[in-house]
Amino acid sequence: MDCDFASYEALKSIAQARKSCRTFSSRPLDDDILQKVLDVAMLSPYASGRKNWTVRIIKDGETILNAAELVQAHCKVLSADVREDMRDSFEAYAENFVAFKTAPVLLVTEFRVMPALSLMLGGSEEVGRWERENFIKSISCVSMLILLAAESLNLGACCMTGPLLAHDGLARLFKIKESREIGAIIALGYKSQEINNG
């Protein structure tokens, strides 16, 4: 079969256009548009072909603001342990971790580490770390498809892992089972005029 250069060029164009969006329009996101993004996410490859991941949808504005406050509070605690000459830089950088607060929707990718090979090898810690990293890399594939799907629909999106400094608090807020971990928080919505690179 010959290469489909038209499809390649379309994909390349979407990838080139994609920029991280950290400020969003107040326009709500329709459920059918959101479903289109999720439909593409569900096509992602995943470690061992297992479907031990999901994408949690957070649309409640109060929950989103509570998440931002939780992350800010956690970063304030961490700031006390930062070297004094670097504290201002840390605090300025940490402001990026709550850029999701203006998004109408958060997509929270979550995954479960399911040991298999490490159990076969008698609980090998080395293989256990490798397995966990495999699932982290796999959930990253899901996140990338979400970003490309969002851009194809002219939506703004930003994949964020900085907020995961407050992982345990966010997991409780989002009601994520203890056996699961958050892979990323993806802010999603219609783009505002101000778009940031990244």
pLDDT digits (tens, 9 = 90+) for 158-198: 999 999 999 999 999 999 999 899 999 999 999 986 554 45
Q: What is the mean pLDDT of the chain?
A: 91
Q: Which two tokens stand for residue 62?
A: 């109060």
The mean pLDDT of 62-78, rounded to a whole number, is 97
Is residue 46 very low, low, confident or very high in pLDDT (cuts 50, 70, 90)? confident
Whether 71 maps to a domain, the answer reads yes
Give the pLDDT of residue 118: 60
Q: Decide if pLDDT at 83 tops 80.
A: yes
Of 99, 112, 122, nearest to 52 by C-alpha is: 112
Report helix angle 61-79 to 87-94, nearest 10.
170
Distance CA 39, CA 23 (A): 24
> Could you tell me the CATH number of the domain that includes residue 24?
3.40.109.10
CB neighbourhood size of 109 (10 A):
23
Torsions phi, psi for 184 (to 5 deg): -165, 160
Domain count, the chain: 1
163 vs 127, residue with greater confidence: 163
Give the pLDDT of residue 75: 96
Whether 108 maps to a domain, the answer reads yes
The mean pLDDT of 128-140, rounded to a whole number, is 86
Domain extent at residue 25? 5-190
